[in-house]
Amino acid sequence: MTQMSTIYPPATRVEPISRHTLAVVVDNEPGVLARIAGLFSGRGYNIESLTVTETEHESHISRVTIVTTGTDSIIEQIKAHLEKLVPVHRVVDLTLTGDAVERELCLVKVVGKGEQRVEAMRLAAAFGARTMDASLTSFVYELTGTTEEIERFIKLMTVVGLAEVSRTGVAAMARGPEGM
């Protein structure tokens, strides 16, 4: 558990830890990702996943989606520190704004023959995964879903010859008509 940023013993209280998805809108300038990543490492906060890409090319704005865990006070600190960064436009806590849509994409390579291979195909079909590549001894599947679905899929694939996994991390958006 990350401690409060003090060298003195924390007050004896146990705060529950929760998972938050933050959407951070930033100017896409050199070093902006290093500023965000450095803030987390420098202050001992967790990053569970981080995705970033330019979303508005004309104004060079990127959207960073960060999944992090911490006590409520740590989450508040993270948001306050992110908002202080000069190239940051806005920080929205999608976990607080309600049940956000959260999707992640993964590529899974399974290697095997015979019954194992057949079982891998059945499981992929059951999850609705797409086959992106196939050889006589392997498949590459693509699955898009919530982090939990992907975790389940990968866990099952482990039994039938999982060889490699690549995941994008979470992209998220609030439900309803309002934009950010």
Partner 1 sequence: MSEMMTGAEMVIRTLQDQGVEHIFGYPGGAVLPIYDAIFHQDQVKHILVRHEQGAVHAAEGYARSSGKVGVVLVTSGPGATNAVTGLTDAMMDSIPIVCITGQVATHLIGSDAFQECDTVGITRHCTKHNYLVQSIEDLPRILHEAFYVASTGRPGPVVVDLPKDIQFKMGSYTRPTSNQHKTYRPTVKGDIDKIRAAIELMASAKRPVFYTGGGVINSGPHASALLRELARLTGFPVTSTLMGLGAYPAADRQFLGMLGMHGTYESNLAMHECDVMINIGARFDDRITGRLDAFSPYSKRIHVDIDPSSINKNVKVEIPIIGDCAHVLEDMVRLWRQTAPQVDKVALKEWWTKIDGWRGRDCLAYRPSDEIIKPQYAVQRLYELTKDRETFITTEVGQHQMWAAQYFKFEEPNHWMTSGGLGTMGYGLPAAIGTQLAHPKALVVDIAGEASILMNMQEMSTAVQYRLPVKIFILNNEYMGMVRQWQELLHGGRYSESYSQSLPDFVKLAEAYGGVGIRCDKPGDLDAAILEMINVDRPVIFDCVVDKTENCFPMIPSGKGHNEMLLNDYLNETGPVDLGSVIDEKGKMLV
Could you give the CA distance from residue 113 to residue 108 in angstroms, rounded to a whole number? Answer: 16
> x/- site string to partner 1, residues 35 to 74, per CB under 8 A?
x--x---x------------------------------x-
Q: Smallest distance, Å, CB 171 to partner 1?
A: 22
Nearer to partner 1 by Cβ, of 2 and 116: the residue is 2
What are 38's two structure tokens?
Answer: 């450095």
Stretch that binds partner 1, among 7-15, 46-54, 98-106, 116-124 (CB under 8 A): 7-15
- The DSSP secondary structure of 92-119, one letter per residue, reads EETTTSSS-EEEEEEEEEEE--HHHHHH
Site for partner 1 in 112-171 (CB under 8 A): none
Q: Smallest distance, Å, CB 61 to partner 1?
A: 10
Nearer to partner 1 by Cβ, of 88 and 162: the residue is 88
Q: Smallest distance, Å, CB 34 to partner 1?
A: 6
Site for partner 1 in 75-94 (CB under 8 A): 76-77, 80-81, 83-89
Could you give the CA distance from residue 104 to residue 176 in angstroms, rounded to a whole number? Answer: 20
Nearer to partner 1 by Cβ, of 34 and 136: the residue is 34
Nearer to partner 1 by Cβ, of 10 and 176: the residue is 10
Could you give the CA distance from residue 68 to residue 49 in angstroms, rounded to a whole number? Answer: 7
User: Strands (DSSP E) along the chain, which ranges?
Assistant: 17-27, 49-56, 61-71, 88-93, 101-111, 130-134, 138-145, 162-173
Nearer to partner 1 by Cβ, of 5 and 146: the residue is 5
Based on the number of CB atoms within 10 Å of its own CB, is 70 exposed (0-12), middle (13-18) or buried (19 or more)?
buried
Site for partner 1 (CB under 8 A): how many residues?
28
- The residue to which tokens 């079909």 are assigned: 125
Q: Smallest distance, Å, CB 179 to partner 1?
A: 18
Could you give the CA distance from residue 47 to residue 67 in angstroms, rounded to a whole number? Answer: 6
**14 lines the binding site for partner 1 (CB under 8 A):** no
